[in-house]
Structure 1
Amino acid sequence: MMSDFATRASQLDETDPLRDYPAEFLGSDDPEIVAYLDGNSLGRPTRATAQRLAAFLTEGWGGRLIRGWEEQWFDLPLTIGDRIGAAVLGAAAGQTTVGDSTTVLLYKLARGAMALRPGRTEIVLDRDNFPTDRYLLESIASDLGLTLRWIETDFAGGVTARAVGDAVSEHTALVVLSHVAYRSGYLLDAAAVCAATHAAGALLLLDLCHSAGSVEIELDRWAIDFAVGCTYKYLNGGPGAPAFAYVAAAHQADFTQPIWGWMGREKPFEMAQGYVPAAGIRRVISGTPAIVGMIPIQDTLDLIEQVGMAAVRAKSVALTEFAVELAQTWLLPLEVRMSSPLDPARRGGHVTIDHPRFQEITARLWQRGIIPDFRPPQGIRLGMSPLSTTFGEVLAGVRAIRDELTTH
């Protein structure tokens, strides 16, 4: 069986339409990294990014100096935002901007959304959403005297449209959910959830951190109100790279976010007295944007624009299907539990498996050059990044987990 899977992995890599793309990433030829299976937490840098950053230091920052603001940097959050919108989010121009962390943008969008539904007193969210989302909404609810309406979910599942329909009411102002659950990988039926939310007169804010760059997204077509996501996972922006925010065009004229800064003001360089929000998506911006942090995102967008998100998603499904097959054959007999949906249509770009020993095993895997991540209470996440991960890496990773379970 081992040789059969090894042959399969080799064949899958040879016939992969994206087989040339892993070589575009730094570290792909590092002999100490046998399998990098954590692209859903931190993506590899591209080789092009190393060149672009070096050129920016000497030619952009070093050469243009302050002139860079007028020549490019002032509009860069919107320029890159439009590229993310078109290539990754299914969003028309003028609705996406880049800047701040995911947490800060979540706060801005959630507070701005609440102001669009005055008199409503409830926010709906789920117990298994990412901690930042939960903590942030607890803070907002405490500040504004709101009620949090919790949806209970299973670690191996996620939120359904029916559960949202049961939770929302005439009191609901906002529903905040992750498009792909950070632990289980459950892929939300965003269009159905949005319809259920709107039926109650509420607004929907999606967290796209674990879906942007791994699954196909159609924010405009699904009629999503607001969305936020990070760029350091599947978009390979690097540690702490700025996040992106989407505000549907229909809401922008009335949308006001609470962190008023000079870069989000109308005619910011006039330095005028009093805050007047800029027109359109620029009003989401607060302070000076992190220009250096935006540079690497452009190189991954170059790659995604070349191949298209349909090809990226097809590779993602093939990788996770192979991981599931290996886990079912080698790991489930060893009392490992599958904690991700088996249906690829309901699964994002990572697979989570559970076992009581996985925390200690993860540390040993890292020493062997096998790099997944651990998520409590006892889960290993296998995060396959479609542009940079090979089927051979998936094989090596699951085989190493089996070896650790059987030899220690």
Structure 2
Amino acid sequence: MSSVTILTGRVLSFAATPFDAVPEEAARLDAAVALEGGRIVARGSLADLRAAYPQAERRDHGDKLICAGFIDPHVHYPQTAMIASWGKRLIDWLNSYTFPEEMRFADPAYAARIAALYLDLTTAEGTTTMCSFCTIHPASVEAFFAEAQARGQRVVAGKTCMDRNAPEGLRDTAQSGYDDSKALLEAWHGVGRISYAITPRFSPTSTPEQLEAIGALWAEHPGCLMQTHLSEQTDEIAWVKELFPAARDYLDTYEQFGLLGANGLYGHAIHLEPRERDRLREVGAALVHCPTSNTFIGSGLFDMAGLMAEGQRIGLATDTGGGSSFSMLRTMAAAYEIGQLRGTPLHAAQLLWLATVGSAQALRMDDRIGNIAPGMEADLVVLDLASTPAIAQREAEAEDLWEAIFPTIMMGDDRAVAEVWIGGRRVRGA
């Protein structure tokens, strides 16, 4: 029988959606959480948990915050080494930095090294699950999944498919994209904590023939996620119109090939037409907000308030390496700043919900990860809300929990991450 561990601190979970309820009233606060066999078995008062599990090991975190591990639903782990590359718009940025770096993933050893580095960097930031684009090379997927499996980590990823508008050596074909994706899906999907995502990069880098083939693969495996990009920049949208003159809009370049559905994840989604917003909501697709990326390469301001009010399903992501940070804390801060620029600032409860429950919902995994409740997988982060002198002096003046959390969201970094637990195992912290 596995042993029980009790963590004490300020254990925060969400009982409601802070976009639908009063934000301050959406969360539940407990004093302890019990873990056993990789899962959460109880939460509540320390007295109750000690009575229920008298032999449990106890780890006392004082007044630190314990919450679900952060979930990052749109990343490119192969862009780790080129993060924060200077000064380009999307298409030039891809050609100047991204595609040359992704060429290196033809080497399985390089792919393995970057996969390990990426997971080390994100674990240090408190991220316990992510959904990643890989490269066209099957070895890039194998490397990422193998490293995640060795760590017992829940991840989603897929081979990027693109058969045009990319350099020689970084293109597949409609048939090979289908065949490679199918083989990887059949080998890995559902193995341990691993899920496969069918992954056309975006419609400009796939011919209609490839989009049709990838749509057919998704129809064969509708339980899988499908990830791509949508309406990130205005010049990108103009390019899509040139490439698909018969399409009603950008979303239609996916919809007509069977690539619109409830298990679809559409990164960025900044410049949406009314028809696109209506169709995305109707099918229950997920939109993924990538604020540091959107500001870093000048894409635009995501309409969080408007899209949430419509009933869209929304996650929050770093978009490494178009995004300029591996940190979900920094990403929350950027989402707040973009909300301010649109006149709709986000509450700390909304930001933390987006990085946990909201992103788990985007991945259709909120029954397993993203919150602290009995039966959920034990992926947790312990946050020091006074991790630096600057944050500590502000936290000391806080009049409630949310006022104590907000300075860490705005100014925190990996120093705030005191411990990380993945699958009930402590992977960061003394």
TM over 0.5: no
Normalising by structure 1, what TM-score? 0.28
> Higher RCO, 1 or 2 (CA under 8 Å, sep at least 6)?
1
Higher relative strand content: 2
